[in-house]
Structure 1
Amino acid sequence: MKKIDYAVLLSLGALWGGSFLFMRMGAGAFGALPLAGLRAIGAALCFLPLLASRARLAEWRAHWWPIAVVGLTNSALPFVLFTFATRSLPAGLASIIDGMTPMFAALIGWLWLGQRLDVWRGAGLAIGFAGVVWLAEGSLALGPGAGVALLACVAATVLYGFAVHYTHLRLGRVTPLVVTVGSHMVAALLLLPTTLLAWPTQPPPLQAWLAAAGLAVLCTALAYVLFFWVLARVGATRIMVIPYLIPAFGVLWGALLLGESVSARMLGGCAVILLGTALTTGLVRRRRAAPSLAIEEI
């Protein structure tokens, strides 16, 4: 890997970790449904020129139904759930739960597709869930809505885990860019009615509009373009470092820019969840089995 690849991977962690910062900044003024809708609609408008070719349009028309399912489960619903959650939870805590996505992908692969789940992966799942329970117990002190908000975060990561396998099964031969652009267009269409119906009666302040623009343009459109660019350069194995960077940046942005407190419980829960994720994805064993490739794996 070259320096630019490391820089892009760090940038992706910063951008996707920053999405929780922007949701926290804008959710109170817009509400969960309008802000999620603005994110999807803004991203779809940014993506639209990328679909402007006959070959890509033909591919989209041929696979519109599974792409629509991905749009619902990987964009529309998670956007709403995470935005709803950040009205009650700190951005850092929500980003930590998002780091469980690889764990849920492994669990769903085992339950749905019968994929192998060895002792190490099973232990990783148990450790990761223990970290969530630990965080859940601590989140009760944040207010009466914190427990429901944390469940919303977990539900969003479950949907992400489902979408990983569904995309592989139904859209494995479709151009990834077509899946991404098409699914965000579907998400925009699905969320447009609720965005209009739930639009706030009080005009949102400039800060909330900037947060919505950051979500759509930076954390969604730009992030996905960078993701596919670096994926083509470094491969799927090395790209797996991103889920470990998102919680770190989510906590960092929340502390630096929103003044969120970082408790020992939060750091401990983050460490436990990341350990469970590392075991579930096999990252720890790969490093032990091939120490000479440790730097390349990062």
Structure 2
Amino acid sequence: MNSSTLARPAVPALSGAWLTPLELGLLGAIWGSSFMFMRIAAPDFGALPLVSVRLVLGSLVLMPFLVRHRAVFTRSHWPKLALVGALNAAVPFALFAWAAQRAPAGISAIANSMTVLFTALVAFLFYGERIGGRRAVALVIGFTGVVVLASGKIAGASPGLAVAAGVSAAFLYGVAANLVRRHLTGLPAGAVAAATLGFAALLTLPFAVASWPTQPIRGVSWLSAVTLGVLCTGMGYALYYRLIQRVGAPRAVTVTYLLPLFGVAWAWLLLDEPVTLTMVAAGALILGSVALSQRQSS
């Protein structure tokens, strides 16, 4: 989201010195845990029912932002918000939930880090933005990390399809980021998030009803789904936009570096999922490429 669209309240420098790292760490922990919760709940719910529960709850948490700023939206904004909702929430959330049924949570958390690189690549391919030598090298390194990640074995099985799903979701995030920047600039970011999540919830609801599981869903899966919607989606987005408001989007987006670390750590600590050498190598390549890409624009 474009940080210039939000008013920036004065914050004492001393509080900002510790508050920003604290909130970035908290957001990294929250969003990193989302892959673990999907891993727990997806086998019981199925991908689309889980995503629908997540989106409904997340949009309800953020709905006050939309109610407060609803007057700023014109008729022409709503189709664009619906499109962004599909590309930035409904489809990628479903892809990650599908991957969670087939591979450890850390795989998706690492693949998600490609979002920053795909945002630059989409801007280059479709909008003619200059990519630069440093960022081009970063893209090559990042895709090398994806190949390494997909080629590994975990418990004797290949995570290749799950990696493909996660990388596809990251690509859609990159497309959506460019659409937001070009077509929704000037709108309050929190209200845009609420609207896009609401449209995504409406989009997935019929599919969720049609594929709702017939067998009873375990309590731990319900708890994971509710936490995924309320904490990881609703409250996570609210915290993210609070960061954008105070420190700007370039600093807020550095949370990208924390997601795979927390995603792998939560899954290892609470689900006893293995951390393989392939995951470490792929994560280092992808995160290194993101750092190199960000350095160009800093």
TM-score (norm 1): 0.91
- Name which of 181, 193, 201 aligns with 2:194: 181
Alignment CA distance shift 1:142-1:189 (3 Å): farther
Partner of 1:205: 218
Pairwise CA RMSD of aligned residues?
Answer: 1.6
- Name which of 94, 104, 114 aligns with 1:80: 94
Q: CA deviation at 1:60?
A: 6.0
The CA distance in 2 between the partners of 1:5 and 1:115, in whole Å, is 30
Q: CA deviation at 1:263?
A: 1.1
8 A contact 1:25–1:211 mirrored in 2? yes
Kindly provide the amino acid, as one letter, of the partner of residue 18 in structure 1: S
The CA distance in 1 between the partners of 2:243 and 2:290, in whole Å, is 22
The CA distance in 2 between the partners of 1:259 and 1:224, in whole Å, is 28
State the aligned residue count.
283
**Aligned residue runs from structure 1 range 90-105, under 5 A:** 90-105=104-119
Q: Does 1:65 align with 2:74?
A: no
The CA distance in 2 between the partners of 1:75 and 1:16, in whole Å, is 14
CA deviation profile, 1:72-124 (whole Å, cap 9, x unmatched): 00000011000000111111111000011001111111111111122111110
Q: Does 1:275 align with 2:288?
A: yes
The CA distance in 2 between the partners of 1:191 and 1:117, in whole Å, is 35
Kindly provide the amino acid, as one letter, of the partner of residue 91 in structure 1: A
Q: Structure 1: which 5+ residue stretches go unaligned?
A: 287-298
Name which of structure 1's ranges 272-281 and 162-171 shifts more when overlaid on structure 2. 272-281
Q: CA deviation at 1:147?
A: 2.1
**Aligned residue runs from structure 1 range 83-232, under 5 A:** 83-139=97-153, 142-143=156-157, 146-232=159-245
The CA distance in 2 between the partners of 1:159 and 1:141, in whole Å, is 29
8 A contact 1:59–1:178 mirrored in 2? no
Q: CA deviation at 1:236?
A: 1.7
8 A contact 2:107–2:162 mirrored in 1? no
TM-score (norm 2): 0.91
Q: Does 1:45 align with 2:60?
A: yes
The CA distance in 2 between the partners of 1:52 and 1:240, in whole Å, is 26
The CA distance in 1 between the partners of 2:248 and 2:156, in whole Å, is 40
8 A contact 1:51–1:57 mirrored in 2? no
Kindly provide the amino acid, as one letter, of the partner of residue 193 in structure 1: P
Partner of 1:12: 27
The CA distance in 1 between the partners of 2:222 and 2:264, in whole Å, is 22
The CA distance in 2 between the partners of 1:38 and 1:142, in whole Å, is 32
Alignment CA distance shift 1:57-1:195 (3 Å): farther
The CA distance in 2 between the partners of 1:96 and 1:238, in whole Å, is 20
8 A contact 1:89–1:142 mirrored in 2? no
Q: CA deviation at 1:51?
A: 2.2
Partner of 1:293: none
